[in-house]
Structure 1
């Protein structure tokens, strides 16, 4: 599959609020970027595992009169001598391929390190540092908070919703917090958006790692760092958001003058306690 053709398809889809069925079609098209300009709507529907009318509605959602107009556009922007010969890959392999493409996309975004450096400085300066992640994003928030606590003096994990969430944001703000880090993944809980709006009202700067720059949390964020998720399996895969979280940790460590000393203290204490099996 030509990486250039796949990237042009991603740019075509960016900015559109797609249904789960339409996302399935979009990811099928990215995986078969060289083949798609030569497929009929019926053939594309079969490969994506959806109905033919769903393909038509998908084309209209992208702003075309119908699928023939979308296919003409793809032939114009994706020159090719014809569908490439390829070996059919399993659905599991395709899911891995899609995640690899997501990581390449993230690598391209990180060619400009300024946004991540700015975010790292904001997080390092916040004492305490609240880290928010609800539902699907709770694993990313918990992982970040676990490692951040090794170098930051006061990290507060917010991974449960409910009426106490606003109270915990208030307590962090009163204790001196100046920023909040949020991980936001589909499907986006309304409560996450409301919590970010509340945090900003409390005076906190909001840094958000989300699946897209057009995610519902974008309007409630001061600095949004996008990292795409994979949608080829029954449940989304989030390798790129997890890796971006680790990159943010690195940037935060760079902004903390005593980060290395804290890590060395932890390692010394862990060795004295026999904490890890060598």
Structure 2
């Protein structure tokens, strides 16, 4: 068997050596590396080209947009500038007006105070000018004929039982339109020559019973201004309550100040009817206890 194997080996001949690469040939790994480097360079070139294209496009677009925006915004910019100037002018004007209003407020406050003071003085002067006046209410229209002063003097003497006719400076109806049939007659405004005589007339009118002339009831009052009359009328309910308080003296003094003197002798003065009513109800009003059945 050994001989045969040897013979076979001789037949085959010597072993062929492996083939070596030809000179100048490139290996597969080198080719792959070269391809990778080429791809990288191509990617870099493409990225550079893309960046350049984007940059140029942006420049073109931004330039066109800037022109469009400038064309659109230029009128708006001019309007904004004009509005800024207008707003600045308005702010200056508002500042001036604020200063003027501050000055006007001070002036108005001063004038208001002065008007209030002058109003009080005018009311006081008007009230003093009526100190000698009285009002005669309820005399039928036309009773005085053409001599109202003489008529009222005789009327007062007859109604109040005076020793003689009072000296009157003048007497006339109030200046409202003449009433129609069925309406209340206009009061007489009478100016008495002497203040003392005027006080006597009012005292007798207050102490006398109901006064009548030709079947009509006649009343005699002081002649007050409208504001004073309203202030005095506000004490009507208080005076009504005071009439039912035994031992209490009271009087309504000019212009509208209520004096209340309880049995203790201490006088209380009120210019507010609400406070006066509270005082009467809480301090003076007697509690009536019903009799037991």
TM-score range, shorter chain: under 0.3
TM-score scaled by length of structure 1: 0.23
Q: TM-score by structure 2 length?
A: 0.22
Structure 1 or 2, whichever has the larger Rg, is: 2
Query: Taking CA–CA contacts closer than 8 Å with sequence separation of 6 or more, which of the two structures ends up with the larger relative contact order?
Result: 1
